[in-house]
Amino acid sequence: MLKSLSIENFRCFKKFDLNPLGRVNLLVGKNNCGKTSILEAIHILCSSQNPDPLKNIMIRRGDVDE
């Protein structure tokens, strides 16, 4: 279980900290404020041994070509 989250220089975040995290956390905000980016950062963190998730995210967002 994650107890805290720190994101630096990822998408719209220069520096972002969530501390402490609970057992259940709710991300709420307006469109295009970074909710999905937080989830993508967690996904990349959890799959750090495999670069495919990052590549798939970038392709889905149109950041790179297949």
Nearest to 8 by CA among 32, 41, 48, 39: 41
Q: Which pTM value belongs to this model?
A: 0.73
* Distance in angstroms (rounded) separating the CA atoms of residues 57 and 46: 14
Q: What is the pLDDT of residues 5-48, one digit of tens each?
A: 999 999 899 999 999 999 999 999 999 999 999 998 988 888 87
Which DSSP string do the residues of 30-66 spell out, in sequence order? -TTSSHHHHHHHHHHHHTTT-SHHHHHHHHHHTSS--
Q: Phi/psi of residue 57, each to 5°?
A: -65, -45
* Distance in angstroms (rounded) separating the CA atoms of residues 56 and 58: 5
Domains of the chain, by residue range, sit at 5-61
